[in-house]
Structure formats: structure tokens, C-alpha cells
Amino acid sequence: MNLPTLQSRTLLLLLVAVTVAFFAILWPFHGAVFWGMVLAILFTPLYRKLLRRMPQRPNTAALATLVLCLVVVILPSTLIGISLVQEAGLVYERLRSGQLNLGAYAQQVMSALPNWVLSLLDRFNLTSMADVQARLSTVGVQAGQALATRALDLGQNTLQFLVSFGIMLYLLFFLLRDGAALGKRIGDAIPLDEGHKRQLITKFTTVIRATVKGNIVVAAVQGALGGIAFWVLGIQGPVLWGVLMAFLSLLPAVGAGLIWAPVAIYFFATGAVMQGTMLTAYGIFVIGLVDNVLRPLLVGKDTKMPDYVVLISTVGGMALFGLTGFVIGPVIAALFIATWELFAPPRTSSAATSPTPRP
């Protein structure tokens, strides 16, 4: 082996080693680093507009953008999180004390069902109300305990949260100010063709913006509308149910209907026809149509992946990375598709491939 080859392999090995070590150091704060990058990508256009007004003061422009990000995004999210923790604790206490009994609600629904539905359920051994009530009560208590435990963990990890929050803000400031130069430097160091690098970087930033602006905004709007409906109808814990509807809205083909539909069924079964009709109409024509109206405007057709890819990548991302996985999962899936497209032959139009008709 000649000396230049040995040096190249040694340098490559050193590059891999220090890169792995660097990511290992960042891993305890990967959420803060990731969300700092996401917010920087989203708010860079605003920073550039401010910088054009004050071209000699990039620090001031970055600081103003950071303050606007705090007011518009971070502060409302924090307030919602505090309300969510409080309502989760209350729901758990009511489940544990028996004031909120899911089994009793199921009993009321089963009593209102027609005979043909009961006979159909009896074939699947689903009419044993003792078993159903016991299972629902157990599930309710376990779910409430999980929410209360997570809320307690958040309270105990206040110091870690504050450290991560500070790292995210600190990183966001410098990414806003120096992000363009840093991105160009990283792009120059990647040993790929310029066209390929441009395609991958464009895909990464586009999917980040589409996922956050599209999915999060749509989920937030659907959750807010659902929470308002529950509050108007007098259902306890509207913030909790609204947040759950928002999370379910992130999953295609699932949606917020998994929350409001059972409540509407309960209203119909217990004789509250007016409330059930109002909630059903509101869920279909208001909450349900938000996705069809807002998502195409915010996401666009060019960045939309197949629903099954989004569903699998979102669920898998959240299982692997936690809460940030609903963004990381689709981004990885999009980069996976874009990378394999680099190896695919260019598509030819049907007009170019069709045979020329003979006279």
C-alpha cells in the first residue's frame, strides 16, 4: 500500500471517528439541536427581511427574529403544555377515584343499542358488560397514570428542560445569523456532485418547512377547534382532548375523529341527540375540512409524500426519537426517497417514448 492511499484511508477513518464522537456528545441534547435547526429554517426568511432593513446590524436582526419566534411559537406552546399537564393530573385523579368511569359510559351506550347490533356483538363475545367495563376501567386508569407520570417527569426534569431550552435559543440565534455561511461550508465539504447536493439540500429544507408549517399548523388548528367544541359542550378536560386530537391529526388516515366520534356516539346513545348532531356536523364539516383546505395551501403538491409513507415514518419516528420524531421521521423518509432517486434513470415523457405513427 503506497503512502497516499494509507493517508487517505487514515483521514477517512479519523473523519468517521470524530463525527461519531461529535454526534455522541450532542445526543443528550439532540431535541434542542434539532428544534433549533427547524426554527432557524422556518424563520430565516423573516431574518433576511429584517436584515435588508438593517444591513449593518446582523446581530440586531437575529435577536429581533429570536424574540418574534419566542412570542409567536415558544410562549404559546409553553402555556398549552402547562395547561395540558394540569388537566392530565385532574383526569388521572378522577379516573383513580372512580368519578370518571369509562366502563359506566360503555354500559350506557350498550343499553341504547338496538337488538340487531347486540346480537352481532354477541357473536364476537363483546356483550359481556362486566368484562368490557373492567377492561375499559383498567385502560382508563393506565392511560391516566401514564399521563400523570409523564407530567411528573416533566416537573422533575425542570433543570434539564431549562438547559435544553437555553441551548436551543443560543443555537437558534447563531443559526439565524451564520446559518447561510455554515450551510455553504458544509455543502462544499460533502463529496457529491453539485446537482445532487442541491437536490438533497432542497429536499431537506422543503420537507422541514412543509412538515412544520403544514402538519403542525393543521394539527394545531384541528386540535384548537376540537377543544373549543368540547368546551362549549361542557366536556371536562377540553385542553387535554384538544391536544390529543392535534396529535392524532398528524397521522394520515387516522385523524381527530378517533376522539370526537366516540363522544358523539355517546351523546346519541344517551339521548342527547342535539349535542351529538352538533358535534358530528362540526367534526365533519369544520374539523375534517381543515385538512383538505389548509394542507394544500401550506404544504403544496410537490412535497407531498404518499399517505402510507407519512403514516409509517411518523409513527416510527415518534417511537424512535420521541416527540421530535413526527418531524424527523418524514424528513428521513423524504431523504431516503430523494437519495434513491439519484440512482434512478431520468424519466422520459410518454410523448418521447411512444413510437412515431406511420403515415
Query: Are residue 73 and residue 136 in the same domain, yes or no?
Result: yes
Q: Supply the pLDDT for residue 173.
A: 92
Query: Are residue 184 and residue 198 in the same domain, yes or no?
Result: no
**Structural domains of the chain, count:** 2
Query: Are residue 258 and residue 303 in the same domain, yes or no?
Result: yes
Query: Are residue 170 and residue 255 in the same domain, yes or no?
Result: no
Query: Are residue 62 and residue 202 in the same domain, yes or no?
Result: no
Query: Are residue 183 and residue 207 in the same domain, yes or no?
Result: no
At 112, is the pLDDT very low, low, confident or very high (cuts 50, 70, 90)? low
Asked if residue 4 is part of any domain, the answer here is: no
CA-CA distance, 63 to 262, in Å (whole number)?
Answer: 46
CA-CA distance, 165 to 167, in Å (whole number)?
Answer: 5
Q: Supply the pLDDT for residue 21.
A: 92
Query: Are residue 39 and residue 184 in the same domain, yes or no?
Result: yes
Of 189, 206, 234, the residue at which a domain comes to its end is: 189
Asked if residue 8 is part of any domain, the answer here is: no
166 burial via Cβ count (<10 Å: 0-12, 13-18, 19+): exposed
Q: Supply the pLDDT for residue 121.
A: 61
Of 154, 189, 224, the residue at which a domain comes to its end is: 189
Q: Which residue has the higher pLDDT, 343 or 304?
A: 343
| Cβ neighbour number for residue 197 with a 10 Å cutoff | 15
Direct distance between the N- and C-terminal alpha carbons of the chain, in angstroms, rounded to an integer: 65
Asked if residue 20 is part of any domain, the answer here is: no
At 252, is the pLDDT very low, low, confident or very high (cuts 50, 70, 90)? low
**Angle, helices 217-232/288-298, rounded to nearest 10 degrees:** 160
- What are the pLDDT digits (tens) for 1-10? 566 777 888 8
The H or E element containing residue 229 is helix 217-232
Asked if residue 172 is part of any domain, the answer here is: yes
Query: Are residue 100 and residue 155 in the same domain, yes or no?
Result: yes
Write b or e for each residue in 130-144: b if 16 or more Cβ atoms lie within 10 A of its Cβ, otherwise e.
Answer: eebbeebbeebbeeb
Asked if residue 200 is part of any domain, the answer here is: yes
Query: Are residue 71 and residue 50 in the same domain, yes or no?
Result: yes
56 burial via Cβ count (<10 Å: 0-12, 13-18, 19+): exposed
Task: Select from 35, 31, 325 the least CA-distant residue to 172.
Answer: 35
Asked if residue 307 is part of any domain, the answer here is: yes
- What are the pLDDT digits (tens) for 22-50? 989 988 888 888 888 888 888 888 999 99
Query: Are residue 234 and residue 163 in the same domain, yes or no?
Result: no
Grid coordinates standing for 62? 437575529
Q: Which domain holds residue 285?
A: 194-343
Grid coordinates standing for 55? 444591513
Of 189, 206, 231, the residue at which a domain comes to its end is: 189
At 315, is the pLDDT very low, low, confident or very high (cuts 50, 70, 90)? confident
Is residue 129 within 8 A of residue 110, CB to CB? The reply is yes
Q: Specify the pTM.
A: 0.66
Asked if residue 19 is part of any domain, the answer here is: no
Q: Supply the pLDDT for residue 351.
A: 44
Asked if residue 359 is part of any domain, the answer here is: no
C-alpha distances out from residue 109 to 55, 113, 229, 266, Å: 65, 7, 21, 6
Among the residue ranges 9-13, 79-83, 233-237, the one predicted with the least confidence is 79-83
CA angle (150, 33, 193) in 5-degree steps: 135
Task: Select from 292, 217, 280, 283 the least CA-distant residue to 250.
Answer: 217
Query: Are residue 261 and residue 325 in the same domain, yes or no?
Result: yes
Query: Are residue 168 and residue 264 in the same domain, yes or no?
Result: no
CA-CA distance, 138 to 132, in Å (whole number)?
Answer: 10
